[in-house]
Amino acid sequence: MKKIVYPGSFDPVTNGHLDLVKRAANIFDEVVISVFCNPNKKPVFSMSERVEMLEQATADFKNVTVDSFSGLTTKYVKSIGAGAILRGLRAVSDFEGEFQMASMNKHLDQEIETIFLMTDTKYAFLSSSVIKEAAYFAGDIKELVPDFVYQKLKIKFKND
């Protein structure tokens, strides 16, 4: 097929994100995970830390690369020669916001498609925000993120 971009904050990367990456890597020739600098969010991890965690988490995927960007997603997608944007849908509640974003992206560039993949039901409740909140209060998130992410969250929130 073609090159697809999976943009997001990935603060931090979760097993739900990685499930989508794995499935997309089986469909597309190349998957570029792009960490987005979102001015509306206050990340726990720096851009370089998030890129590094994603590189470590996807090291076994031969057709997956990790990058970062700021600005319009459509401009970034075009600049790297991709033709599609990957988005995950966890629940019906995600659809409205994702549909709005996909519609705006289509308005900005008619040549770029948005491809939606449904999240595996075991990750339907999972988001980076939920992970950070649970980690902050020393909740058990060990099965929801890669082990090295779990360790980094323990350090960030000083939980033993």
Q: Which residues sit in the known binding site for ATP?
A: 9-10, 17, 88-90, 98, 123-129
Binding residues are: 9-10, 17, 41, 73, 87-90, 98, 123-129
Q: Which helix (H) or strand (E) holds 142?
A: none
Of 17, 50, 132, 152, which residue is the catalytic one? 17
Of 50, 90, 132, 152, which residue is the catalytic one? 90
The answer to whether residue 23 is catalytic is: no
Amino acid sitting at position 139 = G
Binding residues for substrate are: 9, 41, 73, 87
Q: What share of the chain is helix, strand, coil (3-state, %, to 5)?
A: 45, 20, 35
Residue with tokens 């560039």: 109
Of 34, 50, 128, 132, which residue is the catalytic one? 128
Q: Please, are residues 134 and 141 in contact by the beta-carbon 8 Å criterion?
A: yes
Of 41, 75, 122, 142, which residue is the catalytic one? 41
The answer to whether residue 17 is catalytic is: yes
Tokens for 100? 């709005």
The answer to whether residue 93 is catalytic is: no
Residues with active-site annotation: 17, 41, 90, 128
